[in-house]
Amino acid sequence: MTLTLRDRRILLIVAGGIAAYKSLDLIRRLRERGARVRCILTQAATEFVTPLAVAALTEDKVYGALFSLTDESEMGHIQLSRDADLLVVAPATANILARMAGGLADDLATTAILATDKPVLVAPAMNVRMWDHPATRDNLALLRRRGVLTVGPNQGDMACGEYGFGRMAEPLEIVAAVEAYFDGIGRFGTQGPLKGRHALVTSGPTHEPIDPVRYIANRSSGKQGHAIAAALLQAGARVTLVSGPTHEPAPAGVTLVPIETAAEMMAACQAALPADVAVCAAAVADWRVATPSGQKIKKGAGGPPALALAENPDILATLSAVGPNRPALVVGFAAETEDVVAHAQAKRARKGCDWILANDVSPGTQAFGGDSNILHLITAEAASTWPRLSKPDIGTRLAGAIAAHFNKD
């Protein structure tokens, strides 16, 4: 067992959700790796786990009262948050995420979070409807832009009898995220293992005009590409994000280059070079209308117009081509509907890129526009299958693999 966490000080904040019972195992897992754990229980959390059980596992006092005469005589909420190396909120309920996003400080947990100068990692846990609610999504997006790290949630059966995303990440997954932070993968800013590296990321769809009001496109949401850009930024890289039209907010700190067409994306990528790594996550349209109409095409008695198509530039192959500006590592994506690994291996060889991340986008997989994915990493040496992960977690895992590639010597 690694001792990455030896003597690391973790302030664990347990909010009031049924997943709070997992926090007991999380404490045990952190401590067996050498971490020192202190715990704040919200009032609601005490309905699910007892302070006595938490104290027995942490071998430390459990905190909960904001107005404790003994603890607050020396501004205990300030000291708690400043003494820690990392704050972990698990479970992070919809309620505490909303209070964090709003900057509230109405109990000891949120006061410590607001008063901290240390990084915060949250493990969301809630009913699937709460997770899908636009307010929760907006709150989490805001927190991520501020640099809050996330792990999970997972998909599965829930205590309420429903099924979907909202299950808190398992304790060992949270431990892995904590270890990744201390290994440098989770740091926000320029201190991570990719410090000094320039990463080029493409994301979203392209829109190829038919006429001024119609275009050829695909179902890409940009969620995965944007998550990868955010993870590379957190790993310390300088990131240029070339993105087609998407509703995803650009992560704070990246250089965003918005484009519409494949030709514009190609030009933007070439202008962004040199780069150490290029991750081509955009779903670029293979074809465009050879001669788009300058006016809206009207319906006519002759039926639908015949559209002459032309092939778009191959951005992945162009970036992979040997030359003075070729990135040291070029990573492509392969969206397949059958024989996923075999087709991806052939694509890697055909395009000349170093790695391919392949996924199944056939109907029912919800890969396009969804919040999670199952990916296969194809390299020259091997093919490995990753478990189903949220798209931010995929970004973190890929950033870790890229950092390991550059730092292997």
314 assigned to a ligand binding site: yes
296 assigned to a ligand binding site: yes
3-class secondary-structure state, position 9: strand
315 assigned to a ligand binding site: yes
Q: Is 118 exposed, middle or buried (0-12, 13-18, 19+ CB in 10 A)?
A: middle
Q: If residue 313 lies in a helix (H) or strand (E), which one and from where to where?
A: none
Tell me the C-alpha distance between 74 and 82, whole Å.
13
351 assigned to a ligand binding site: yes
The reply to whether 160 belongs to the active site is yes
26 assigned to a ligand binding site: no
The contacts of residue 99 (CB under 8 Å, 6+ apart) are 106, 110
The contacts of residue 349 (CB under 8 Å, 6+ apart) are none
Beta bridge partners of residue 239, listed in sequence order: 199
Tell me the C-alpha distance between 238 and 195, whole Å.
8
Alpha helices in 34-104 (DSSP H): 51-58, 76-83, 94-102
| Burial per residue of 256-278, b for 16 or more beta-carbon CB atoms within 10 angstroms, e otherwise | ebebbbbebbbebbeebbebbbb
The one catalytic residue among 39, 160, 269, 280: 160
Task: Provide the 10 A C-beta neighbour count for residue 332.
Answer: 26
DSSP 283: B
The strand ranges marked E within 113-207 are: 120-124, 149-150, 154-157, 163-167, 198-203
313 assigned to a ligand binding site: yes
363 assigned to a ligand binding site: no
Tell me the C-alpha distance between 349 and 365, whole Å.
26
Binding site per annotation, positions for CTP: 286, 296, 313-316, 333, 347, 351
Query: Catalytic positions, please?
Result: 160
Binding site per annotation, positions: 286, 296, 313-316, 333, 347, 351
